[in-house]
Structure 1
């Protein structure tokens, strides 16, 4: 369900990662190779990127399939950035949220995406939503599981938690409430990438094999370079431009 990708490194045209590779995120929207849940990622897409001197990223999101959006092709051809996050959304049940449900979600310097699904949505996590202040519930961009996950993680970030701590605690909390959930979360502030592998595929490429010698963290490889490495399930990923640290995640208490 869904595919997403984050890049950190030297300035790069977005298309060099998002559209040019043979199994790019664009192609994964209709022909993913390692997606274990869902088949077509056609219910929206988005990309967020950082410009020099501005810590707040710009975003481009739409509710339809990425392959039908010609302005996206132009954007990825001309925009350069040292950091970006992009996602394509799996076909899902009908809803009125439109592009508001498409990642990346954003607040301040942060970009966020969720690949997976909260089991027994929304019943299983209703108590978690009820514990949020009313102003945070009213600020949700959409009525989907990814938007709630972002609210839970963002509350921790705003309280001073480190990115890894915020994502790990969010995964633990939601997995305890909805044990069959798939919770691959992806977060960047333009200088770091933090991600979780929990129930779905996650890979990374860093150093000489990555574009510009940077780092890419993605749901699946966009080419057949043998230097891609799969992240073990139940793992927290912390990455900078040329370094990746993997830390096992604890199972939530039963």
Structure 2
């Protein structure tokens, strides 16, 4: 159910991350190699990126498959950024809310994506509704499980919770209400990346001078890629990666530097 990718590091063309690698996110839209659920990610796509001097990201999203957008390859070739979040979508409910349902979701400096599904949606999520302010529910960008999960994360961020803890707490909360859910979440503010591996694949690649990539699956066969264990929360920046159990986000292992 979707493939996604985030990058922080030196400024780079979007194409170097999204279209040029042999197993890029572009190719993963029709031929993913490690996707456990679903086979084709053709229900929309999106990319968000940060421009120098502007803390709020720009987004380009469409309701159709990425390969059908004749403008995207040109955009990816010329747009450069030091922080990117992109996703291709396999919808839980095909066609639901069209472009509005395509990640990344955005608020202020944040970009967010969800790879997975809330089991039993929407009934299973009903007990979580009282945890959100009414205005947040009325402001959901789409009527999807991913938009609801984003609202839960964003509410925590707005109350001062740090990104990794906000993701871990949200995952535990949703999984408690709907235990069979798959909740690989991806979040960036343009300088750092936070992510969870919960029910689907997640990998990272940290390289000195070339930044850090966190992705549903590797976009090439470079041995630098490392798989993230399931039930893990990841925090990364351009210098390295830190992994911790999602059940205990404060008990983090030492950061693995770019080596």
- TM-score strictly above 0.5: yes
- Report Cα offsets for 1:5-58 as digits up to 9, x if no partner: 000000000000100000000000000000000010000000000000000000
Please state whether the residue corresponding to 1:70 is helix, strand or coil: coil
Pairs within 5 Å for 1:36-115: 36-115=36-115
Please state whether the residue corresponding to 2:124 is helix, strand or coil: helix
Q: Which residue of 1 aligns with 2:251?
A: none
Q: Which runs of 5+ in 1 are unaligned?
A: none
Please state whether the residue corresponding to 1:141 is helix, strand or coil: coil
> How far is the alpha carbon of 1:95 from its aligned partner?
3.9
Number of aligned positions between the proteins: 248
> How far is the alpha carbon of 1:129 from its aligned partner?
2.2
Q: Which residue of 1 aligns with 2:145?
A: 145
Q: Which residue of 2 aligns with 1:205?
A: 205
The answer to whether the Cα contact below 8 Å between 1:50 and 1:190 also exists between their aligned partners in 2 is: yes
Distance in structure 2 (CA, Å) of the matches to 1:91 and 1:163: 25
Q: Which runs of 5+ in 2 are unaligned?
A: 249-259
Q: Which residue of 1 aligns with 2:253?
A: none
- Report Cα offsets for 1:171-210 as digits up to 9, x if no partner: 01001000010100000000000000001000000014xx
Distance in structure 2 (CA, Å) of the matches to 1:14 and 1:152: 29
Q: Which residue of 2 aligns with 1:233?
A: 230
Q: Which residue of 1 aligns with 2:244?
A: 247
Distance in structure 1 (CA, Å) of the matches to 2:53 and 2:235: 24
Distance in structure 1 (CA, Å) of the matches to 2:247 and 2:53: 38
Pairs within 5 Å for 1:174-189: 174-189=174-189
- Report Cα offsets for 1:92-117 as digits up to 9, x if no partner: 42344000000000000000000011
Structure 2 length as normaliser, TM-score?
0.94
> How far is the alpha carbon of 1:132 from its aligned partner?
1.7
Distance in structure 2 (CA, Å) of the matches to 1:6 and 1:250: 23
> How far is the alpha carbon of 1:242 from its aligned partner?
2.1
Please state whether the residue corresponding to 1:60 is helix, strand or coil: strand
The answer to whether the Cα contact below 8 Å between 1:129 and 1:148 also exists between their aligned partners in 2 is: no
Pairs within 5 Å for 1:190-201: 190-201=190-201
Q: Which residue of 2 aligns with 1:23?
A: 23
The answer to whether the Cα contact below 8 Å between 1:136 and 1:151 also exists between their aligned partners in 2 is: yes
Structure 1 length as normaliser, TM-score?
0.95
- Report Cα offsets for 1:63-112 as digits up to 9, x if no partner: 00000001111110000000010000014423440000000000000000
